[in-house]
Structure 1
């Protein structure tokens, strides 16, 4: 990560706080974080994400096709939902403290997202342990749950992350 120049002393008046995620030691198993604000999916989001990722599924791109499905309209690409679900957690949990995303052990989409739906994210810390091979780092297992504006679960993702331990004081 490229260091950002510090603010000159003549500009800073008092205490400064830099936004960051949690150090490994700050994660507590069983704690749930609610990430706000949510993110409303637009037709433009869906079309752009779908075309950028070369996903030519008509259910995401073709309004006439979508109208003929059981949903009656196009659906938001579930990979957009997954990416946004994880993204909504970054500022609160992993900004500047994550080393790597190690992988996902579970991903499900119990209900679809449609353009105009708002995705709200919450993350529960399921497990954590110090890394055996990387001193100063730990593995944290996170369960991300996405709900729409009605409270319906639209996505669940369990992932493991490699996180930095707090710097020595």
Structure 2
């Protein structure tokens, strides 16, 4: 019996990222009232625009808005499996965060990311800094969120380190 090939889901290594490439992330995420209420409550953001339907009905959009921090978190989250799962060291910062249009309960958020820049770290061998621009659109194609994020990423030399660590952590298969 031959050995089975094992393929582990991961993001991209630093050296696999191409400046200028656009990644379209799937699937999208339909935002529910429960999502918005839970996130708003757990983060202690008691803004009536997110929680109070009667109040929000009297405001310019006429209904509750999805919490913009939930929108930002979900936008970044939609990119993880394709770009940074297991390949990121950590986030370095966010800039140019904007919400040009509101997101409402029942809207679906779709995301795409452009690699704006990358460079090897001067002080951390095997790692580098990547600048990503994330954009979120609703189901009608309206831009609802945008953010530029800098991350510290591993290069592919980390793959062999990770594989060695995983091998030593696995129980003996009895071979």
Pick the aligned partner of 2:50 from 49, 60, 66: 60
Structure 2 residue 140 is the aligned partner of structure 1 residue 132: no
Residues 1:105 and 2:95 are matched in the alignment: yes
Q: Which has the larger radius of gyration?
A: 2
1:154 aligns with 2:144: yes
CA RMSD of the aligned region, Å?
A: 1.4
Q: How does 1:7-156 map to 2 (within 5 A)?
A: 14-156=4-146
- The alignment partner of 1:83 has SS state of helix
What is the distance in 2 between the residues matched to 1:14 and 1:55? 49
Q: TM-score, normalised by structure 1?
A: 0.91
Divergent runs of 4+, >4 A:
none
1:167 to partner: Cα distance: 1.8
The CA distance in 2 between the partners of 1:140 and 1:151, in whole Å, is: 27
What TM-score do you get using the length of structure 2 for normalisation? 0.88
Q: Deviations over 1:80-102 (max 9, x none)?
A: 00000000000000000000100
Unmatched 5+ residue regions in structure 2? 161-175
Give ranges in structure 1 of 5+ residues lacking alignment. 1-9
Cα distance in 1 for residues equivalent to 2:57 and 2:38? 20
Aligned-partner SS, 2:69? helix
Whole-Å Cα distance in 1 between the matches of residues 90 and 60 of structure 2? 39
Aligned match of 1:163: 153
